């Protein structure tokens, strides 16, 4: 039997510690009129690159809320993707709030101006009235290119109306069809040096009739003895449709972290669980 108190502490490999966050802005998400697709897409894109999402926040179309959220995230030093609120309608406040959070002002970005003008000309399809950039309607469209001073543009392959980046915050449209490719472009353009730095893996097993309060001390000892390894517990009341061990109350108990760290931690977790008198059921890969 492994004595968890005598396990030699394993030092985690040193890597660049960068956290990625996501801010989803929009009353339509909070009211349920639309279902958020940005969170799952962001997780997917990061995972493809060997990265992970550290946090996510949902914010209403409210100037005070957005500004306060951005002040906090700008101060965090995290890489942040923000979706929604960069259009030109009265409920689009993100551009203004980003400037307020940074203590600066917005200004029409020259490259954004060119791209928006090109989009106007393209949509006019030769109609000189629709193509007239001086009309109030078209002048209003240029507001979508007013970004905080010092911003860089994010190309939008869908309709050419750009997003913007400033201080490792990347502001994207609320439309998933646009935000997804633009988010991927930001990752590949700015953070490729962070891709696949560690071989992150996850392993778990089922503990029938497991009780979290009984398992918590074991989980705490594993994390203390194996820096860089995180232990997780996912309790379930049971699912009769799945049958077998899944039909009864159980806990999925597991670890995640660099593959180089997991071997000994995995043995210690299994041994410690058995020592508490529980059974272990391995999860069959799908």
CB atoms within 10 A of CB 231: 21
Question: What confidence tier does 6 reach under pLDDT thresholds 50, 70, 90?
Answer: very low
Residue 73, pLDDT > 60, answer yes
267-284 confidence digits (pLDDT tens) = 999 999 999 999 999 987
Residues 26 and 167 in one domain: yes
What's the CATH code of the domain at 252? 3.30.70
Contact of 229 with 241, CB cutoff 8 Å: no
pTM for this one?
0.80
The Cα-based distances of 64 to 97, 151, 174, 191 in angstroms read 8, 22, 19, 30
Domain of 159, in residue numbers: 20-194
Q: Which neighbouring-strand residues pair with 253? A: 205, 233
Instruction: Tell me how far apart the alpha carbons of residues 268 and 275 are, in angstroms, rounded to a whole number.
Output: 10
Whole-angstrom Cα distance, residue 134 to residue 152?
Answer: 25
Task: Report phi then psi at 45, rounded to 5.
Answer: -65, -40
Tally the domains of the chain: 2
Tokens linked to 174: 């609320």
Question: Are 58 and 24 spatial neighbours (Cβ–Cβ below 8 Å)?
Answer: yes
> Is residue 66 located within the same domain as residue 175?
yes
pLDDT band, very low/low/confident/very high, at 8 (cuts 50, 70, 90): very low
């Amino acid at each position: 039997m492994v004595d968890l108190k005598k396990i030699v502490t394993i030092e985690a490999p040193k890597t660049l510690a960068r956290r990625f966050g996501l801010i989803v802005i929009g009353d339509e998400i909070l009211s349920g009129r639309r279902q958020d697709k940005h969170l799952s897409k962001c997780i997917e894109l990061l995972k493809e690159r060997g990265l992970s999402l550290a946090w996510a926040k949902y914010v209403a179309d409210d100037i005070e809320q957005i500004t306060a959220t951005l002040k906090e995230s700008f101060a965090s030093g995290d890489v942040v993707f923000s979706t929604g609120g960069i259009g030109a309608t009265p409920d689009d406040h993100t551009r203004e709030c980003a400037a307020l959070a940074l203590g600066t002002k917005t200004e029409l970005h020259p490259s954004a101006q060119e791209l928006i003008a090109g989009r106007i000309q393209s949509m006019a399809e030769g109609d000189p009235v629709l193509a007239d950039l001086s009309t109030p309607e078209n002048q209003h469209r240029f507001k979508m290119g007013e970004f905080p001073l010092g911003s860089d543009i994010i190309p939008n392959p869908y309709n050419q109306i750009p997003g913007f980046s400033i201080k490792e915050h990347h502001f994207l449209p609320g439309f998933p069809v646009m935000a997804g490719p633009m988010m991927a472009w930001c990752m590949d353009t700015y953070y490729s040096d962070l891709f696949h730095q560690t071989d992150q893996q996850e392993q778990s097993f089922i503990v029938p009739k497991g009780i979290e309060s009984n398992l918590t001390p074991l989980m705490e000892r594993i994390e203390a003895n194996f820096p860089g390894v995180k232990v997780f517990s996912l309790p379930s009341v049971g699912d009769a449709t799945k049958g077998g061990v899944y039909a009864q109350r159980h806990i999925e108990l597991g670890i995640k972290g660099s593959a180089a760290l997991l071997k000994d931690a995995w043995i210690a977790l299994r041994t410690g669980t058995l020592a508490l008198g529980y059974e272990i059921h391995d999860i069959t890969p799908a």
